[in-house]
């Protein structure tokens, strides 16, 4: 759909104000494409809000919004649906368009699914370090993986491929915050707050999430304000990500070496990250993220990915602070994807040793917190 526009004044033209064949065919394809994406949503159920077990006498309830149950296994199913609808309704994608995306993996898995639904070719531009499990999931959905050595080059490489193929670069990092309808339309915030309706603390004290594009935190932060709630938004960030220093120093040009926790943390402050709606940020060591992911899997019986560990660590940190302040209330965080995507990384002791990651001290923090309510972080 890129390239110079064709004049519609001769050849395929408007006659007496009515569009002729070319336009009709394009529009018919578009209508059908939108119907297919909407029908996929219509067939899907809402995701669960699980109760995470905490001692009831703490008077604090913790919930995990389980985004792993989407058809493509992660929170990114929502984003992929929004990005496709946005591109379709903007007239950026037609029946012959190759879809290109820069991704650390999970978004591409979901986008490959929607591209296949629409019969469009899909190319994921990703760092070579992306887990083999995610690469197979993208290929299983009919997508092609284009791997690059330097994670910082995925954006330019995607743009270049889009130009070369006459395709469309979806660009999640730019469009995530605006492709989602933040006022409602069953976005993740509306779903969470509706599901809390019958709980003892229906307005959470904290919602704790990570940031990959920044889209989820932007949607939740805006929704909280729009609905005039006192809930505060905490964003957790892994080691070597630019979001934390960018937020702390109000510096959109901050950079980082790149995150080991797939799906969250970025080498640059992405355009979709909205620092003004974030009330608090917590920098979480990778060993803490992985310890919390494994501990969560043991406690809940659901294996979870590394970024869920990051989010859970942040949520427990906030709960410890609430306890110290004598506060009761609720906290919500996200179960972003399942642990089966990370059996060769976060759940593999040899991988941890090769990365020089020791999770033992962080596991002790978690176990002690569950036993005694005392939160003691290992020294940095």
Ligand X SMILES: Cc1ncc(COP(=O)(O)O)c(C=O)c1O
Which residues contact ligand X by CB under 6 A? 75, 106, 176, 209-217, 263-264, 307-308, 311, 334, 336
List the one residue out of 71, 26, 21, 22 whose CA is nearest residue 46.
71
Smallest separation, CB 37 to ligand X (Å): 19
Smallest separation, CB 5 to ligand X (Å): 33
Q: Which two tokens stand for residue 43?
A: 């067939």
Report the residue number, 141 or 213, with the smaller CB distance to ligand X.
213
Cβ 95 vs Cβ 30: under 8 Å:
no
Phi, psi of 103 (to 5 degrees): -155, 160
Cβ 354 vs Cβ 228: under 8 Å:
no
Smallest separation, CB 307 to ligand X (Å): 3
List the one residue out of 260, 295, 282, 376 whose CA is nearest residue 331.
282
Smallest separation, CB 13 to ligand X (Å): 43
Report the residue number, 264 or 366, with the smaller CB distance to ligand X.
264
Contacts 24+ apart (CB under 8 A), 27-36: 29/94, 29/95, 30/88, 30/91, 30/94, 33/88, 33/93, 33/95, 33/118, 34/85, 34/88, 34/89, 36/117, 36/118
Smallest separation, CB 113 to ligand X (Å): 16
Smallest separation, CB 213 to ligand X (Å): 3
Report the residue number, 82 or 97, with the smaller CB distance to ligand X.
82
Ranges of H-type helices in 69-213: 76-89, 106-118, 132-140, 154-165, 172-179, 188-195
Report the residue number, 334 or 366, with the smaller CB distance to ligand X.
334
Report the residue number, 283 or 311, with the smaller CB distance to ligand X.
311
Give the span between the Cα atoms of 218 and 178, in whole angstroms: 9
Smallest separation, CB 132 to ligand X (Å): 18
Phi, psi of 273 (to 5 degrees): -85, 125
Cβ 87 vs Cβ 93: under 8 Å:
yes
Report the residue number, 154 or 211, with the smaller CB distance to ligand X.
211
Whole-angstrom CA distances from 304 to 254, 339, 341, 345 are 30, 4, 9, 12
Give the span between the Cα atoms of 296 and 67, in whole angstroms: 15
Smallest separation, CB 161 to ligand X (Å): 21
Report the residue number, 196 or 264, with the smaller CB distance to ligand X.
264
Report the residue number, 168 or 266, with the smaller CB distance to ligand X.
266
Tell me the HSE value of 105 on the side-chain side, using a 13 A CA sphere: 25
Smallest separation, CB 122 to ligand X (Å): 18
Give the span between the Cα atoms of 32 and 21, in whole angstroms: 16
Report the residue number, 296 or 336, with the smaller CB distance to ligand X.
336
């Amino acid at each position: 759909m890129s390239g110079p526009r064709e004049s519609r004044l001769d050849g395929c033209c408007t006659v007496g104000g009515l569009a002729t064949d070319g336009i009709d065919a394009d529009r018919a394809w578009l209508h059908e494409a939108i119907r297919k994406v909407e029908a996929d949503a219509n067939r899907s159920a809402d995701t669960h809000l699980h109760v995470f077990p905490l001692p009831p006498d703490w008077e604090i309830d913790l919930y995990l919004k389980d985004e792993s149950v989407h058809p493509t296994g992660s929170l990114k199913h929502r984003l992929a649906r929004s990005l496709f609808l946005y591109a379709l309704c903007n007239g950026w994608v037609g029946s012959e368009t190759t879809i290109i995306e820069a991704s650390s993996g999970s978004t591409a898995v979901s986008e490959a699914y929607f591209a296949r639904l629409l019969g469009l070719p899909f190319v994921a531009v990703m760092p070579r370090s992306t887990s083999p499990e995610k690469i197979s999931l993208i290929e299983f959905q009919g997508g092609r993986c284009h791997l690059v050595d330097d994670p910082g080059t995925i954006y330019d490489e995607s743009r270049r491929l889009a130009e070369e193929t006459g395709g469309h670069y979806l660009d999640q990092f730019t469009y995530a915050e605006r492709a989602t309808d933040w006022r409602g339309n069953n976005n993740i915030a509306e779903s969470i707050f509706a599901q809390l309706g019958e709980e003892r603390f229906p307005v959470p004290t904290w919602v704790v999430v990570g940031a990959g594009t920044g889209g989820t935190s932007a949607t939740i932060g805006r929704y909280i304000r729009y609905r005039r709630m006192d809930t505060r938004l905490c964003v957790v960030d892994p080691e070597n990500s630019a979001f934390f220093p960018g937020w702390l120093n109000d510096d959109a040009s901050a950079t980082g070496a790149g995150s080991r926790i797939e799906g969250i943390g970025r080498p640059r402050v992405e355009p979709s990250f909205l620092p003004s709606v974030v009330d608090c940020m917590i920098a979480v060591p990778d060993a803490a993220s992985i310890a919390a992911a494994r501990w969560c899997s043991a406690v809940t019986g659901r294996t979870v990915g590394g970024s869920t560990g990051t989010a859970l660590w942040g949520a427990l940190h906030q709960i410890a602070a609430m306890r110290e302040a004598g506060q009761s209330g609720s906290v919500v965080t996200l179960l972003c994807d399942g642990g089966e995507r990370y059996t060769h990384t976060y759940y593999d002791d040899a991988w941890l040793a090769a990365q020089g990651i020791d999770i033992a001290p962080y596991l002790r923090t978690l176990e002690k917190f569950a036993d005694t309510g005392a939160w003691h972080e290992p020294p940095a």
